[in-house]
């Protein structure tokens, strides 16, 4: 299928949009274009489900003889009717809908890339593979190669059950709707009405899934630009050994707080580990007194770790309630002066295309002489 995806992606035209060279920022033209792409893609995703429902049920009701059945007798259940023809047709239609939705997402991510300036006629060939991976919600989990584990300390069975329910929520919701409708209307309910009862739910799930993919594409494109900007503006000097451990702890602390492998966090981990030549561990545990040590550190290393903490909270494009508790704890300990509302505002600015320059300047141009040197070495001008 990769050949099909690449061929489809490469045939998509690069439209003319007034973009700039700042991928982390969206000008009015870029923002308007991206919003139009979102609305159209969500509408088409919902219509795909309508088409799939019609393609499945219309032949079934119009030509029932085309869907053979088999009678079986099971030892415990007794005689049952196996509607294998209907099940086979359901698999065909479902697979076709999934691939159509994937192609729609690929087209949508392509347009998001064009709208942000990430994809141009010059850059499209080299960025095709990355854009397709974003469309397929591929998670490389680069951070795991550096001993970073977001599930450190978590109950594995609870995680398994949570993820399983998340995958089955569409099917469960559809069955609940059908069961409720059948019980409400009883024998007066038409079978076709019960069959089509779940269509609005799946339309909403399709639209939601497409919106999630396109929003994630925007977050990844802008987030990686911010990471690149951060690395360019860092000091040329290396961190001391205790500073390397503190940075390692900070990256692991972010991963545990997020409980997820996100591409932006992966890139942040990879770039910082390589930039400061931090020795890689097979599995890194956060130091027991990490927060205490960070609270005592107000030098360049402490400022860097605080900046990385805040970026870690916002680079996936959302700040959860669980993270609110963590931020409030860091406030109480005196580690962060930014409140939850401040971090959420930084996140909204980031996702909205306004950038995080105010945050970067605060920590990269502080009163500390070494931090002032960062801006001079990077050539950054306020």
What is the rounded average pLDDT of the residues 237-261?
88
pLDDT given for residue 295 in this prediction: 93
> Stretch 33-37: mean pLDDT, rounded?
93
Task: Check the CA dihedral 188-194-199-205 and report its sign.
Answer: positive
3-state secondary structure of 81: strand
Burial class (CB in 10 A: 0-12, 13-18, 19+), 72: exposed
Indicate if the pLDDT at residue 267 is higher than 50: yes
Predicted confidence at residue 161, as pLDDT, reads: 59
DSSP classification of residue 121 = T
Q: What is the mean pLDDT of residues 318-344?
A: 92
Exposed/middle/buried for residue 27 (C-beta within 10 Å: 0-12, 13-18, 19+): middle
What are the residue boundaries of the structural domains of the chain, listed by start? 2-73+82-138+198-216, 218-377
Give counts: helices (H), strands (E), the chain.
15, 2
The pLDDT > 90 percentage for the chain reads: 39
Residue 293 makes CB contacts below 8 A (sequence gap 6+) with: 246, 287
Indicate whether 375 pLDDT > 50: no
- Say what the pLDDT of residue 54 is: 85
* pTM to 2 decimal places: 0.78
Residue closest to 117 by CA, chosen among 232, 271, 224: 224
CB distance 291 to 166 below 8 Å? no
The helix-helix angle for 84-116 and 28-62 (nearest 10°) equals 170
State the Cα–Cα distance between residues 285 and 103, nearest whole angstrom.
41
Q: What is the DSSP letter of 286?
A: P
Residue 19's pLDDT is: 78
> Model confidence at 366, in pLDDT bands (50, 70, 90)?
low
The pLDDT of residue 160 = 54
CA distance 213 to 171: 20
Average pLDDT over residues 195-220: 82
pLDDT score of 314 more than 90: yes
């Amino acid at each position: 299928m990769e050949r099909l995806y690449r061929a489809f992606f490469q045939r998509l035209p690069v439209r003319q949009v007034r973009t700039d060279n700042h991928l982390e920022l969206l000008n009015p033209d870029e923002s308007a274009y991206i919003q139009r792409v979102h609305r159209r893609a969500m509408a088409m995703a919902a219509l795909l489900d309508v088409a799939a429902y019609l393609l499945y049920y219309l032949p079934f009701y119009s030509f029932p003889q085309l869907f053979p059945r088999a009678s079986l007798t099971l030892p415990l259940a007794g005689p049952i009717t196996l509607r294998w023809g209907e099940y086979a047709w359901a698999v065909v239609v479902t697979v076709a809908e999934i691939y159509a939705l994937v192609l729609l997402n690929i087209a949508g991510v392509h347009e998001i890339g064009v709208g942000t300036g990430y994809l141009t006629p010059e850059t499209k060939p080299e960025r095709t593979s990355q854009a397709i991976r974003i469309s397929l919600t591929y998670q490389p989990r680069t951070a795991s190669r550096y001993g970073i584990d977001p599930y450190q300390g978590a109950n594995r069975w609870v995680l398994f059950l949570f993820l399983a329910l998340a995958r089955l929520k569409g099917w469960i919701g559809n069955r609940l709707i059908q069961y409720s409708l059948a019980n409400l209307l009883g024998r007066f309910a038409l079978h076709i009405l019960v069959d089509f009862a779940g269509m609005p739910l799946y339309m909403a799930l399709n639209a939601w899934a497409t919106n999630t993919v396109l929003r994630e594409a925007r977050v990844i494109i802008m987030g990686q630009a911010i990471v690149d900007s951060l690395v360019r503006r860092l000091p040329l000097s290396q961190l001391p050994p205790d500073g390397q451990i503190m940075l390692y702890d900070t990256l692991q602390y972010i991963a545990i707080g997020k409980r997820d492998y996100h591409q932006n966090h992966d890139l942040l981990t990879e770039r910082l580990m390589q930039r400061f030549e931090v020795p890689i561990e097979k599995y890194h545990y956060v130091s027991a007194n990490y927060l205490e040590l960070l609270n005592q550190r107000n030098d360049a290393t402490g400022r860097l770790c605080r900046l990385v903490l805040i970026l870690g909270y916002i680079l996936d494009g959302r700040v959860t309630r669980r993270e609110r508790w963590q931020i409030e704890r860091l406030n109480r300990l005196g580690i962060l002066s930014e409140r939850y509302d401040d971090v959420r505002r930084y996140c909204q600015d980031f996702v909205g295309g306004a950038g995080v320059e105010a945050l970067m300047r605060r920590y990269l141009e502080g009163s500390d002489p070494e931090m002032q040197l960062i801006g001079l070495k990077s050539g950054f001008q306020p």
